[in-house]
Amino acid sequence: MREFLLFRLYGPMAAWGNIAVGEDRPSFAHPSKAAVIGLLAAALGITRNDAERQRSLAMCCYFAVRVDAAGSLLSDYHTIQSPASKPRVIYHTRRAELAADKIHTILSARDYRCEAAYTVALEIRQGGAYTARQLADALARPVFTLYLGRKCCPPAMPLKPRVVIAPSLEDALAGERIGDIALPELFSRPHTLLYWEEGMRTDLIREQVIARRDEPLSRCRWQFTERYECYCSLAKEDAACTSQ
């Protein structure tokens, strides 16, 4: 038997960072592991410069996500003012940045996922630094503000974290119903996609394996390494997920 932490993510807008080059800031169609680990770190009160605790958190679990509602893509032409970088100068607030001597304007194209909903499943590794109960309690009473990839994308519904003891990923998700009485129009598609990290306990037949560079290495230096993610398509009835 394995210990799983399940919770849901929904917001009018979300951004799941992909590899960014130049002015383009794309978003993947479903949450990255780095984004979910960052959300958990915020809930626990772990700062970005606490490298040891960040790494322990990333190593304590395997990651899976079910796309309950894919949502739609929104591209935004974004402008932001930023101070020129100076050696040994740190701006602790936005007000301090705008008070700097030199201000540059940065242009970028940023992607968002609109009206998308997900169920996240974390399989806790044996001997990990955190238990599923510790993580669930932190998500219920977070230390820092939680957001869906970017600060402008707060969750719009409770995360409803819960701990499940099950032999496999599909058994852990069997009781997690797709759909919410407040948002029935989002969950009309007959199929859902399930993504899971290699190493998770499951008997699901993978349709494809993709490499994603979203395993956190250093939050301070913004460095990530590759991991492998499997996925399959499931009819909602097969996933034991019917609308509420």
pLDDT score at 178 = 65
Which tokens hold the place of 53? 């605790």
Encoded amino acid at 224, one letter: F
pLDDT score at 57 = 93
pLDDT score at 66 = 94
pLDDT score at 154 = 95
pLDDT score at 124 = 94
Residues of the chain with pLDDT under 50: 241-244
pLDDT score at 98 = 87
pLDDT score at 179 = 62
